[in-house]
Structure 1
Amino acid sequence: MKRVLVYMLAGMALVGTSCSDFLDTIPHDALSPSTTWQTEADAEKFLIGCYDGWIDETGILYWDCASDFGFNFHIHEGFRNIGDGGMTANNSVVNYYSFGMIRRCNDFLKNIESIEFANTADKNNMIGQVKTIRAYKYFNMNWWYGGVPIIESYETAEEAQVPRKTEEEVKQFVFDELDAAIPLLNDVPAAKGYIAKGTALALKMRSALYYGDYQRAKEAAKAIMDLGQYELDPDYANVFTVPGQSSKEIIASVQHDENLYSNWMIASMYNNGDGGWSSMVPTQNLIDTYEMSNGLTKEEAGSGYDAAHPFANRDPRMAMTVLYPGRDWVGIGGKTIINTLDKELDGKSNPNHPGTANNSSKTGLTWAKYLDPMSQYGDIWSNNSSAILFRYAEVLLSYAEAENELNGPSAEVYGLLNQIRNRAGMPNVDQNKYGSKETLRELIRRERSIELAGEGLRRADILRWKDASGKMVAETVLNGPLNCVTGTIDYAETDPYKRAVISGVELVENRSFAPHNRYLPINQDALDKNKQLKQNDGY
């Protein structure tokens, strides 16, 4: 991994102007392509320059805050206005409309053609990697903005000022890019952090699933399964820890090094009492989505759900995903019990109560993924935590969803779901209850939602999923109050799941979602730079 990071720094230095936005002009002190694109080693350094920032961690860790499963209190971080429906072109909304990375990729694909390689397969493999990076950037912009310009090369800023393509045109461009890239790629990456077939196939799978091309999604998922390189980790929680970074479940993740390229974002997720900002936190909506340990939903008769103890007897993934009140915890001050319910502790203000400080979790909950245990980090503000972009569980869930949509329930689909559920300690799917396409769809959506909670996929899922009336699921789950539970901690209780005694709810914020909120507004700065751009409807 350090080799990749060292080359990244070198590549960034060489690419110079390629790191700038697509409307920037070329500075006079830029390195000339005629003097830098000479050898295979040059191409390797420019390749790593293309990797810098290709996986944006905000696009993983923050995105659930724009859904019913997450909350972002700090407006300047760019996701609260998405979650509550308050987006405009001028307020604080995260901006993914940028062509800097695409320009780097365009430059690479143009200039690599001038280099003679001893082995053509090595050259093709590099081209496949960069095409995948470019496709990923276009896919993200297209999904969130609904059609963007496709700019493959230009000499002046004026040439880059072109109109938006339609969403369908950009989608097809992404599909074609991936279909061209996949045959060029190695089956196994040269080193950790490089793109190989599995990553490109995972992008093909996800993009196809998002756009409802179930046959394409199914084929891509099956191709990943057939590679034989990936498997479910026996320990669900392990995947999100530093020791678990070598898990065979992980297909692609952000690469960090404590000294060369450290990660600070994980620290911002911790609660106030542990020195964090509570920048992105889970909600009670997520807790309510987990089944009970017996496989029944909390609403079903016989489930055993107790509203006074909502964390008790739930799917084990709940406790491996969320730091809930009442849980045993070893934080910055040593061993304690998580208490986000009582305003005072031992006569002093509770630093983790939602009303104490801006940096306290407003939902009373904190993510466990990547944060637990805290002892895995020597310095939470400078660590090598690696957020996961693709993992094998998503592959199995995507195949199951696509196959059910195409052909309905089958032993194969039930088997894949049981793999995921059994890994976490949950019972097999009740085939009698989930015996039709419609009922199994409900289960698959719930299973995907809780299995991948906190991994940045929920917003996209509730946008693409439709209810029986044809409305986006987001129109239901993102309209109305976002609440947190209130109550107290019973320190005499030995069962951590029952220490939290819940007595009511409290408003966190009111949320709204209109159909035009399907897309983000294009930032006003981008509209000012390119007069041919048109803003999305509703903004």
Structure 2
Amino acid sequence: MKKLYISMILSLGAAMGFTSCDDLFEPAQENLKDVDQMYDDSKFAQGFLVNVYRNIPAYYDNSDYATDDAVTNETDNAFRKMTSGSWTSDNDPTSQWVNSLNSVQNLNLFLENVDKVNWANDPETAELFRLRTIAEARGLRALFMTYLLRSHSGITADGQLTGVPILDHYLTVDDDFNMPRASFDDCVKFILEDLDFAQENLPMEYESIGTDDPVPAPFDKITSKPGTYNRVMGHYSRLLINGLACRAIRSRLLLLAASPAYDASATTWEDAANAAAGVLDHIGGTAGMDATGVTYYCNTTEIDNMSDGTNPKEIIWRESVNKNNTEQEEANFPPSLYGNGRMNPTQNLVDAFPMANGYPISDERGKYDATQPYAGRDPRLAHYIIYNGAAEGVNNTAIYTGSDATTADGLNKRETSTRTGYYMKKRLRMDVNMDPSMKQGQNHFKPRFRYTEIFLNYAEAANEVWGPRGNGGHSYSAYDVIKAIRHRALGIDSDPYLEECAANPDKMRELIRNERRLELCFESFRFWDLRRWKADLKETARGMNITNNSVYNVIPNVEARSYESYMYYGPIPKTELLKFSNLKQNQGW
């Protein structure tokens, strides 16, 4: 039999007996091993999964550069180039074909060998490890398949809504790799079957139980010993995929499948709403919304107390904490704070933030003043965007972004300056000091899923199927969710604009989509939301030029968006089409 050799990055933290949840995925030694060695080396076996966890696509992928929300000053950035017409089937910065299919292959190899692994000498412990790792692998496979559908599903030349090849087993060199793409619905069905299994066989969250507590179902069928349960399903496993994360994957998948771009699928808005509710019911619906979720990225006390693997109230699943880190600030701080100013929010996005009373700036009831454009605005604007005159950083440095500014923060002053008159503030901690003479990083983390995303998933789907105030048997409606989100953001008890929108599902849809735009800005959602909605992809990115620190003039064309209608769906890589004749390309590519 042909032997398989895998170069694995092994993490001792992933092995039984690790001591720090937040060190789970830290790089360790690299070894070349025969796959058969996993049978007697449980650390090596778990290394298969650790490797796959590291392949999960970045939460912050900066695809915002390719939307109406942002541009970048980085001239050779792939997303910047794609907006000018360079997006092709052999030049696709959104592709998940290689990364996700390779990950699925590794997961399948693991699943075909997991029953042979000697997980522990104690049979009950061994069975718990076997069950957990199988469920982990199937949950992760569902996640990577969801990424594949988002990037590569679409309408083929024959008018069919098509997905990706379904790899349900490990392909060896003797297998036929020339596989056709499965239907979109068959892909969704395959993913949901994986999620069903994972949800049934993983704890909702990894928490240790007391010595006198009963072992929760279904694990009580395997052991009655709290210590045995805790060793496998307890708090040491907190950063691994769990039942709640699988429910969040289901919500994200079914929202995609129910959306206008996929209206030929069998998935309904009711399916999507119920999937989101399956997550939100865990925290009691809107009553469980985190009051500080707006600033999850810079809630200092929460972040600095996360080293034991716990999650803040806003977070469903996350990556490890990056300690004493400056990555985001180095990339995105304005030049006067010693950053490269990469993410430049657009005037389009700034205009989407309402006034503090909840009315859009286009509505005279909001009392917007174009001569003082940032006064009286939604507080989220100041949380997420650095605008002219804002005081930021450890020394509350005033940031002046006008073309006549005397610092490098000014419009187009140098290669690290803003192109729009704005800098991103979200994702950044203002207590990071980038001054080379006294550089000081801070702890950061990147989410995988936030509750706010799932609340917005529910609001969107519930409004479509039950209307603004219907709840489909749940204890909250789309109206209730958006009211809670806007109350958290604006701090207002009276919201007449929301009441006005709630009388009309179409107006409510517009409000929900705008709230989603604001709440999830710079988190890599906008690029995909515009496509699944089949919305306008060509809105030109605008900016703001300030002169004399008081005269505001909109820049009408900072960067054009050159997209075609077929680009609601991404391409199959050209290299794969040349190799495999059974693959069909999406229309237009």
TM-score, normalised to structure 2, is 0.77
Per-residue CA deviation, residues 460-487 of structure 1 (Å, 9 max, x unaligned), is 222222xxxxxx21x2xx3243221111
Deviation at 1:91, TM superposition (A): 4.0
What one-letter code is carried by the residue in structure 2 that aligns with 1:509? E
Deviation at 1:6, TM superposition (A): 5.1
What one-letter code is carried by the residue in structure 2 that aligns with 1:111? N
Say if 2:558 is the partner of 1:508: yes
> Of 192, 206, 219, which residue of structure 2 is paired with 1:175?
192
| Structure-2 residue corresponding to 1:520 | 570
Cα 1:377–1:424 shift into 2, 3 Å = farther
> Of 215, 225, 239, which residue of structure 1 is paired with 2:296?
239
> Of 358, 364, 375, which residue of structure 2 is paired with 1:301?
364
| Structure-2 residue corresponding to 1:434 | 502
Say if 2:274 is the partner of 1:219: yes
Cα 1:150–1:11 shift into 2, 3 Å = farther
1:96-495 alignment to 2 at 5 Å?
Answer: 96-98=96-98, 99-115=101-117, 118-119=123-124, 120-146=127-153, 147-151=163-167, 152-156=169-173, 159-189=176-206, 190=235, 191-212=237-258, 213-228=268-283, 231-241=288-298, 243-245=301-303, 246-258=311-323, 264-265=327-328, 267-330=330-393, 334-345=395-406, 350-375=407-432, 384-410=443-469, 412-413=476-477, 414-427=479-492, 428-430=494-496, 431-465=499-533, 472-473=534-535, 475=536, 478-488=537-547, 490=549
Which stretch shows the higher mean deviation, 42-51 or 372-381?
372-381
Checking the alignment, whether the CA contact within 8 Å between 2:432 and 2:441 is kept in structure 1 is no
Instruction: Provide the rounded CA distance (Å) in 2 between the counterparts of 1:293 and 1:235.
Output: 18
| Structure-2 residue corresponding to 1:72 | 72
Structure 2 counterpart SS, 1:302? helix
Deviation at 1:123, TM superposition (A): 2.2
Checking the alignment, whether the CA contact within 8 Å between 2:391 and 2:397 is kept in structure 1 is yes
Instruction: Provide the rounded CA distance (Å) in 2 between the counterparts of 1:308 and 1:45.
Output: 58
Which stretch shows the higher mean deviation, 296-305 or 335-344?
335-344
Checking the alignment, whether the CA contact within 8 Å between 2:337 and 2:393 is kept in structure 1 is no
Instruction: Provide the rounded CA distance (Å) in 1 between the counterparts of 2:284 and 2:442.
Output: 27
Cα 1:256–1:37 shift into 2, 3 Å = farther
| Structure-2 residue corresponding to 1:469 | none
User: How much is the aligned-residue C-alpha RMSD, in angstroms?
Assistant: 3.0
Per-residue CA deviation, residues 36-88 of structure 1 (Å, 9 max, x unaligned), is 2325444333332221131x22x534122222112234354321234445412
Deviation at 1:390, TM superposition (A): 1.2
> Of 30, 33, 36, which residue of structure 2 is paired with 1:31?
33
Instruction: Provide the rounded CA distance (Å) in 2 between the counterparts of 1:216 and 1:75.
Output: 42
Structure 1 counterpart SS, 2:172? coil
Instruction: Provide the rounded CA distance (Å) in 2 between the counterparts of 1:38 and 1:4.
Output: 24
Instruction: Provide the rounded CA distance (Å) in 2 between the counterparts of 1:402 and 1:68.
Output: 24
Deviation at 1:165, TM superposition (A): 2.5
Deviation at 1:157, TM superposition (A): 7.7
Structure 1 residue ranges (4+ consecutive) displaced by more than 6 angstroms after TM superposition: 376-383
Checking the alignment, whether the CA contact within 8 Å between 2:152 and 2:570 is kept in structure 1 is yes
Instruction: Provide the rounded CA distance (Å) in 2 between the counterparts of 1:509 and 1:105.
Output: 41
Per-residue CA deviation, residues 267-317 of structure 1 (Å, 9 max, x unaligned), is 322233333333333211111111111111111122111222222211111
What one-letter code is carried by the residue in structure 1 that aligns with 2:320? Q
What one-letter code is carried by the residue in structure 2 that aligns with 1:130? A
Deviation at 1:531, TM superposition (A): 5.0
Structure 2 counterpart SS, 1:410? coil
Instruction: Provide the rounded CA distance (Å) in 2 between the counterparts of 1:127 and 1:12.
Output: 24
Checking the alignment, whether the CA contact within 8 Å between 2:429 and 2:442 is kept in structure 1 is no
Which stretch shows the higher mean deviation, 367-376 or 525-534?
525-534
Checking the alignment, whether the CA contact within 8 Å between 1:309 and 1:501 is kept in structure 2 is no
Instruction: Provide the rounded CA distance (Å) in 2 between the counterparts of 1:89 and 1:329.
Output: 42
Aligned-residue identity in percent = 25
Structure 1 counterpart SS, 2:144? helix
Which stretch shows the higher mean deviation, 282-291 or 166-175?
166-175
What one-letter code is carried by the residue in structure 2 that aligns with 1:410? R
Instruction: Provide the rounded CA distance (Å) in 2 between the counterparts of 1:444 and 1:391.
Output: 17
Structure 2 counterpart SS, 1:31? strand
Checking the alignment, whether the CA contact within 8 Å between 2:532 and 2:568 is kept in structure 1 is no
Cα 1:501–1:200 shift into 2, 3 Å = farther
| Structure-1 residue corresponding to 2:588 | 538
Checking the alignment, whether the CA contact within 8 Å between 2:70 and 2:541 is kept in structure 1 is no
What one-letter code is carried by the residue in structure 1 that aligns with 2:46? E
1:87-98 alignment to 2 at 5 Å?
Answer: 87-91=87-91, 93-98=93-98
Checking the alignment, whether the CA contact within 8 Å between 1:4 and 1:48 is kept in structure 2 is no
Instruction: Provide the rounded CA distance (Å) in 1 between the counterparts of 2:284 and 2:110.
Output: 29
Q: How many residue pairs align between the two structures?
A: 496
Checking the alignment, whether the CA contact within 8 Å between 2:166 and 2:187 is kept in structure 1 is yes
Instruction: Provide the rounded CA distance (Å) in 1 between the counterparts of 2:27 and 2:72.
Output: 35
Checking the alignment, whether the CA contact within 8 Å between 2:338 and 2:434 is kept in structure 1 is no
Which stretch shows the higher mean deviation, 195-204 or 151-160?
151-160
TM-score, normalised to structure 1, is 0.83
Checking the alignment, whether the CA contact within 8 Å between 2:468 and 2:504 is kept in structure 1 is yes
Checking the alignment, whether the CA contact within 8 Å between 1:75 and 1:92 is kept in structure 2 is no
Checking the alignment, whether the CA contact within 8 Å between 2:326 and 2:432 is kept in structure 1 is no
Checking the alignment, whether the CA contact within 8 Å between 2:411 and 2:545 is kept in structure 1 is no
Per-residue CA deviation, residues 211-269 of structure 1 (Å, 9 max, x unaligned), is 1132222222222223239943322444112544442111122324348xx67355322
Deviation at 1:449, TM superposition (A): 1.5
Deviation at 1:101, TM superposition (A): 1.7
Cα 1:237–1:404 shift into 2, 3 Å = closer
What one-letter code is carried by the residue in structure 2 that aligns with 1:536? N
Deviation at 1:96, TM superposition (A): 2.2
Structure 2 counterpart SS, 1:352? coil
Instruction: Provide the rounded CA distance (Å) in 1 between the counterparts of 2:326 and 2:500.
Output: 47
Structure 1, gaps ≥5 residues long? 15-29, 466-471, 491-499
